[in-house]
């Protein structure tokens, strides 16, 4: 039986965190080692977006952790523990963490990514006007920029199409100007609508 089929059977075709049936997908709880069913969780699109910090945490949505934290599936337990830690500013989340037990191996896995130390704040790539940028957007330079290591000067008003977000730095994007791929600081661009 395929992994996805196994997860759908195990969860009765529901999100293993909130029991939603909308837009379900397999989430491999990092850091994955063997890609087994115990390391994977079936999640809905809303849970996934918030787990991956692509959407601000909805505290009311995560009340579902009251039930999912008791799951017998290791991946669900680890993910529940991480999300409860991200919601630790809520008294109900602290109460649940106090009740929850993970053995040493599971706790090591839960702490491995450091995600539990992060707060619930979500950081997005934002332009000079505080608009959220996404991969593939078109932006306009709001300042003339000299490109380091090149004679290229990107003029004010230059349009940069099909940008790519730099994953590990929310203040940088990549784009092509005159055929050359450069890194541009988000504070020097404005999203074109």
Q: Which CATH number is 150's domain given? A: 2.30.30.40
Q: In 10 A of CB 73, how many CB atoms?
A: 21
Nearest-angstrom CA–CA distance, 81 and 95: 12
Could you give the C-alpha distances from 187 to 118, 126, 144, in angstroms and in order?
24, 8, 12
Residues 102 and 34 grouped into a single domain = yes
Shared-domain flag, residues 34 and 97: yes
Please check whether residues 143 and 55 belong to one and the same domain.
Answer: no
Same domain, 104 and 145: no
Do the Cβ atoms of 144 and 137 come closer than 8 Å?
Answer: no
SS (H, E, C) 77-123: HHHHHHHHHHCCCCHHHHHHHHHCCCCHHHHHHHHCCCHHHCCCCCC
Number of domain units in the chain: 2
State whether 93 and 152 are in the same domain: no
Residues with Cβ < 8 Å from 101, sequence gap 6 or more?
none
**Same domain membership, residue 104 and residue 56:** yes
Residue 88 lies in a domain: yes
What is the span of the domain harbouring residue 183?
A: 139-191
Q: Computed over its alpha carbons, how large is the radius of gyration of the chain?
A: 21
In-domain check, residue 127: no
Q: Could you tell me if residue 27 is inside a domain?
A: yes
Half-sphere exposure of residue 141: CA atoms within 13 angstroms, side-chain side: 21
Answer yes or no: do 99 and 19 share one domain: yes
Predicted pLDDT at 149: 78
Shared domain check, 146 and 104: no
170 and 98 assigned to the same domain:
no
The reported pLDDT for the residue numbered 152 is 83
Same domain, 22 and 81: yes
- The pLDDT score that the predictor gives to residue 88 is 87
Coil, strand, or helix at residue 163?
coil
- Please state, in angstroms and as integers, the Cα–Cα distance from residue 172 to each residue in 133, 134, 159, 163, 169, following that order: 11, 12, 16, 10, 6
Q: Quick one: 148 and 185 in the same domain?
A: yes
pLDDT in tens, the chain (193 residues): 688 899 999 999 999 999 999 999 999 999 877 778 899 999 999 999 999 888 888 889 999 999 999 999 999 999 999 999 999 888 999 999 999 999 999 999 999 887 666 655 567 788 999 888 889 999 999 999 888 877 888 899 999 999 998 887 889 999 999 888 999 999 999 999 7
Structure tokens at 33: 């080692």
User: Which of 117, 147, 180 is at the close of a domain?
Assistant: 117
Any domain includes 151: yes
Q: Is residue 122 part of a domain?
A: no
**132 lies in a domain?**
no
The token duo for 28 is 């491999």
The structure's pTM equals 0.65
Query: Do residues 107 and 166 share a domain?
Result: no
Task: Please indicate, yes or no, if residue 34 is contained in any of the structural domains.
Answer: yes
And the tokens for 61?
């949505």
Is the residue at 133 inside a domain?
no
Q: What whole-number distance in Å separates Cα of residue 97 and Cα of residue 67? A: 12
Name the domain boundary from 86, 117, 148: 117
- Look at residue 118 in the predicted model and tell me its pLDDT: 60
């Amino acid at each position: 039986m395929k992994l996805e089929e196994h997860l759908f059977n195990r969860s009765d075709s529901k999100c293993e965190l909130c029991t939603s049936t909308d837009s379900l997908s397999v989430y491999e709880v990092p850091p994955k080692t063997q890609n087994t069913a115990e390391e994977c969780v079936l999640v809905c699109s809303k849970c996934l977006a918030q787990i991956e910090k692509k959407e601000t945490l909805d505290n009311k949505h995560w009340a579902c952790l009251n039930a999912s934290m008791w799951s017998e599936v290791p991946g669900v337990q680890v993910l529940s523990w991480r999300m409860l830690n991200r919601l630790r500013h809520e008294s109900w989340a602290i109460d649940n963490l106090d009740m929850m037990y993970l053995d040493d191996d599971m706790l090591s896995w839960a702490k491995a990514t450091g995600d539990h130390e992060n707060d619930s704040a979500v950081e997005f790539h934002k332009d000079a006007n505080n608009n959220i940028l996404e991969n593939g957007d078109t932006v306009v330079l709001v300042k003339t920029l000299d490109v380091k290591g090149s004679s290229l000067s990107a003029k004010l008003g230059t349009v940069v199409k099909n940008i790519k977000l730099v994953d590990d730095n929310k203040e940088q994007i990549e784009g092509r100007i005159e055929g050359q791929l450069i890194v541009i600081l988000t504070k020097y661009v404005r999203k074109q609508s």
